[in-house]
């Protein structure tokens, strides 16, 4: 493989942020492997500064590069100015480490964390000069694969990907490397794409879309014809013990500023709070905690190696980590050998106890405080199983303002199932009450309420539910803004409802959406996550050209018996559990966290013979969120285990 640096360099004077394209991070890999090693190019389909911190890619980068028979480099989506310069100078997509062309790698592996990046995936395959469609690729073309949270409905990208991995990648990436190595060792004449596809499909957790052919009747998906050599359903992979995988061991330290520019240590994976809108919480079950000593060791060695002055303890709800008290105490104690460091907890639980924890560890430098009540009314929060009372929120906010914070951010969703206008308006009232509480402590206390539009996602209890149209979401945003106008110190921010509509198309659509994505890309629609580059009209025109529309692909409700596009792909959750939980939701019934209460058999543990790895046997003190504690204080909520699944 040969570097194209000499051709890249003259372009760098003329583009914005050239540091995006030069690599040079501390912790990056220099290829010293033998010729037989499988060459991976790990790709994030957005800019360098968004993609570099992605922990999924960094974990795989570390695991692959520790193997003798694998070598992994990285690439990111070139921004529009660089893409234009590359195309004009006939420079292909290249790796940031050795500036080698993407098409010379054996595997191009994408992380899919956001659906609106899909047009960038197509653009990057094209810039790599790899045939865009799997069907056009021959035995010597780079193999294009993907993993990440979005793969639970991969159908919109089915035509472009050779294989898709479901679930945790730590173990399966090695198995994929073995399959690739064997295939590459086969004499070229005997090598076929189909042979590779069959071998990949017989690797647990790997979905090969070319072996599954969708069938439609009256414009509706009715089933898949499954190749005789492929399994009928593909199950996700789950790492049983996170303690066995202390990755990334050498987190990359970039030369230029990126998002989440700090040390990140994952304290647990999975969440069983059971928030019904939350795809991440559903597909990553069960909870697997990292041993607290390992967390401390990863913080200590990571800070020492990187020189960062901030560490984030990451998970879906870090205050629920059994070892949080001990870890925090150790990080605050200079005798424990961790240099002075700011600790951030990116996902706070909404209660005063959590705020006290945050305050005790943020003596060095105060980062922002964010809470996510998600719904404006208790009724709404019962429907989505985010069981926070108004009083929980007020207690958390009081604690935060009294501990010296002056600005608080609240996250809400609109367009939730059963939502009424009063639920939307209540968001502004709730936030205004928080401002008023803040004023008791500081005259300039302020609250930012960020509002996103809800997209019901695959493998959640709401996967059958309809979603609000962009115009309905626009109406609700206007309603909210009108209500919030009178409150000084309250700032309402909202996600563009048009972008939510497009996210619905690619999250909920079937394989026919591939042609829509291709049209949007060919029309110049890259970087659709960036509001300045997004236009819903492009998506609507593409749908129209394919004989489809927003209502039937994204918005409409699905029946219980309808074939969902992702019905052959499993996160372990029983469809009956999801349907039962959906019905409970519509009845306003809550469901407790199964970490601390008896199992209700969602399927995530029993299907795969694994279980929670949680050090504490009792729920954390000080809050009611999902733990069943204190629910009686705030009115009647039925929480009847055993009646929710039938």
Partner 1 sequence: MSDTPRGVSSPVLELPERLRLRYAKLGRVRYTSQRDLARVMERAMRRASLPLRRSAGFSPRPLLSFGLALPTGCSSRAEYLDLRLDHESTTSPGIRVVDAADIDPASLHRLCALLSAMLPDGVDVTAAAALRGPEMSLQEAVASCDWELEVLGVGPAEAAGQVERLLGADAVMVTRERKGREVADDLRPSILSLRVADRPARVLDGHGDVVGIDASVSTRPRGVRPGELCQALGDQVTLLGACRTYQWMENEDRTVRAEPLSEAGVACVGLPARTEVLGG
Binding site for partner 1 (CB under 8 A): 6, 10, 12-13, 17-19, 21-24, 26, 253, 255-257, 304-309, 334, 339-340, 365-366
Bridge partner residues of 110 (DSSP):
43, 146
User: For residue 416, how far is the Cα from the chain centroid?
Assistant: 19
Dist CA 608 CA 270 (whole Å): 15
Work out how close the CB of 477 gets to partner 1 at its nearest, in angstroms, rounded to a whole number.
Answer: 30
Q: Which is nearer to partner 1, 343 or 416 (CB)?
A: 343
Cβ closest to partner 1, residue 10 vs residue 195: 10
Bridge partners of residue 407, in order along the sequence = 446
Which of 41, 37, 3 shows the shortest CA–CA distance to 22?
A: 3
In whole angstroms, what is the distance from residue 543 CA to residue 280 CA? 28
Q: Which is nearer to partner 1, 257 or 561 (CB)?
A: 257
**Closest CB 405 distance from partner 1, rounded Å:** 10
Q: What is the C-alpha separation between 272 and 282, in angstroms, rounded?
A: 8
Dihedral of CA atoms 111, 112, 118, 124 in degrees, nearest 10, equals: 0
Nearest to 150 by CA among 501, 508, 452, 454: 508
**Which of 316, 342, 315, 317 has its CA nearest to residue 328?**
342
**Beta carbon of residue 78, minimum distance to partner 1 (angstroms, whole number):** 14
d(CA 357, CA 620): 12
Nearest to partner 1 of 137, 300 (CB atom): 300
Shortest distance in whole angstroms from residue 348 CB to partner 1: 19
As measured in angstroms, the least distance from the Cβ of 479 to partner 1 is 36
Determine contact, residues 593/273, Cβ cutoff 8 Å.
yes
Which residue lies nearer to partner 1 by CB, 338 or 591? 338
User: In this structure, are residues 261 and 309 in contact, taking their beta carbons and an 8 Å threshold?
Assistant: no
Nearer to partner 1 by Cβ, of 27 and 223: the residue is: 27
> Which of 290, 276, 158 lies closest to 587, judged by CA?
276
Element (DSSP H or E) covering residue 561: none
Start-to-end CA span in the chain (Å):
58
Q: Residue 365 Cβ, how far from partner 1 at the closest point, in Å?
A: 5
Cβ proximity to partner 1: between 18 and 575 the closer is 18
Please state the closest distance from residue 57 (CB atom) to partner 1, in A.
21
Q: Which is nearer to partner 1, 255 or 615 (CB)?
A: 255
Two tokens, residue 19:
């540091």
Angle at 457 between CA 451 and CA 462, to 5 degrees: 90
The two tokens of residue 238 are 């789950």
Q: Which is nearer to partner 1, 301 or 629 (CB)?
A: 301
> What CA–CA distance (Å, rounded) separates 151 from 429?
37
| Secondary structure (DSSP) of 354-420 | HHHHHHHH-SS----EEEEEESSSHHHHHHTT----HHHHHHHHHHHHHTT--EEEEEEEES-TT--
Residue (18 or 346) nearer to partner 1, CB? 18
Q: How far is the CB of 25 from partner 1 (least distance, A)?
A: 8
Please state the closest distance from residue 342 (CB atom) to partner 1, in A: 9
Measured from the CB atom, the residue of 284 and 294 that comes closer to partner 1 is: 294
Give whichever of 307 and 524 is closer to partner 1, judged by the CB atom: 307
Q: What DSSP letter does each residue of 273-297 carry, written as one string? A: S--TT-HHHHHT-S-EEPPHHHHHH
Residue 470 in tokens: 């962009």
Closest contact distance (angstroms) between CB of 252 and partner 1 is 12
Q: How far is the CB of 29 from partner 1 (least distance, A)?
A: 14
Give least dist CB 15 to partner 1, A. Answer: 10
Residue 286 preceded by cis peptide, ω within 30:
yes
């Amino acid at each position: 493989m040969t570097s194209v640096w000499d051709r890249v360099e003259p372009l760098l004077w003329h583009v914005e942020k050239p540091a995006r394209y030069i690599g040079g991070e501390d912790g990056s890999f220099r290829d010293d492997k033998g010729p037989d090693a499988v060459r991976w190019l790990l790709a994030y389909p957005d800019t360098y500064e968004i993609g570099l911190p992605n922990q999924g890619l960094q974990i795989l980068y570390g695991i692959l590069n520790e193997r003798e028979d694998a070598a992994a480099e990285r690439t990111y989506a070139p921004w529009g100015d660089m893409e234009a310069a590359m195309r004009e100078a006939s420079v292909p997509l290249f790796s940031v480490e050795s500036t080698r062309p993407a098409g010379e790698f054996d595997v191009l592996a994408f992380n899919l964390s956001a659906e609106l990046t899909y047009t960038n995936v197509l653009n990057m395959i094209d810039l790599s000069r790899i045939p865009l469609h799997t069907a056009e690729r021959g035995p010597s073309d780079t193999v294009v694969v993907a993993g990440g949270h979005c793969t639970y409905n991969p159908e919109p990208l089915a035509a472009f990907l050779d294989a898709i991995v479901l679930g945790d990648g730590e173990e399966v990436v090695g198995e994929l490397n073995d399959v690739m190595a064997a295939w590459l060792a086969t004499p070229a004449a005997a090598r076929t794409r189909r042979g590779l596809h069959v071998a990949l499909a017989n690797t647990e957790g790997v979905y090969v879309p070319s072996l599954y052919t969708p069938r439609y009747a009256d414009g509706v998906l009715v089933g898949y014809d499954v190749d005789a050599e492929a399994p009928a359903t593909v199950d996700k992979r789950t790492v049983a013990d996170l303690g066995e995988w202390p990755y990334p061991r050498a987190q990359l330290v970039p030369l230029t500023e990126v998002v989440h520019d700090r040390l990140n240590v994952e304290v647990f994976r999975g969440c069983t709070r059971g928030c019904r809108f939350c795809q991440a919480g559903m597909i990553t079950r069960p909870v697997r905690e990292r041993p607290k000593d390992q967390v401390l060791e990863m913080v200590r060695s990571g800070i020492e190696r990187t020189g960062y002055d901030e560490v984030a303890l990451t998970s879906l709800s870090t205050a629920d980590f059994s070892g949080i008290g001990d870890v925090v105490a150790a990080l605050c104690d200079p005798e424990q050998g961790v240099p002075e460091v700011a600790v951030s907890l990116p996902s706070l639980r909404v209660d005063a106890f959590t705020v006290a924890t945050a305050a005790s560890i943020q003596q060095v430098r105060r980062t922002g405080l964010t809470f996510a009540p998600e719904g404006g009314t208790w009724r709404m929060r019962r429907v989505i199983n985010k069981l926070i009372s108004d009083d929980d929120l007020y207690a958390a906010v009081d604690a935060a303002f009294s501990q010296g914070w002056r600005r608080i951010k609240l996250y809400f969703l609109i367009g939730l199932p059963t939502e009424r206008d009063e639920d939307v308006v209540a968001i502004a009232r709730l936030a205004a009450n928080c401002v008023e509480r803040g004023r008791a402590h500081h005259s300039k206390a302020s609250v930012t309420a960020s509002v996103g539009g809800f997209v019901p996602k695959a493998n959640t209890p709401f996967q059958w539910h309809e979603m609000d149209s962009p115009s309905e979401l626009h109406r609700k945003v206007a309603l909210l803004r009108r209500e919030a106008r009178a409150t000084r110190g309250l700032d309402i921010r909202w996600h563009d409802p048009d972008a939510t509509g497009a996210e619905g198309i690619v999250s909920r659509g079937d394989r026919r959406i591939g042609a829509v994505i291709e049209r949007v890309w060919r029309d110049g629609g890259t970087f659709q996550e960036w509001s300045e580059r997004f236009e819903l009209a492009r998506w609507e025109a593409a749908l129209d050209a394919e004989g489809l529309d927003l209502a039937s692909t994204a918005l409409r409700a699905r029946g219980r018996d309808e074939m969902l596009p992702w019905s052959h792909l499993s996160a372990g959750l029983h469809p009956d559990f999801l349907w039962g939980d959906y019905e409970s939701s519509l009845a306003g019934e809550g469901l407790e966290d199964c970490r601390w209460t008896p199992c209700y058999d969602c399927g995530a543990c029993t299907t795969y013979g694994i279980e929670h790895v949680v050090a504490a046997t009792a729920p954390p003190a000080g809050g009611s969120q999902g733990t069943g504690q204190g629910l009686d204080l705030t009115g009647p909520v039925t929480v009847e285990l055993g009646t929710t699944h039938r």
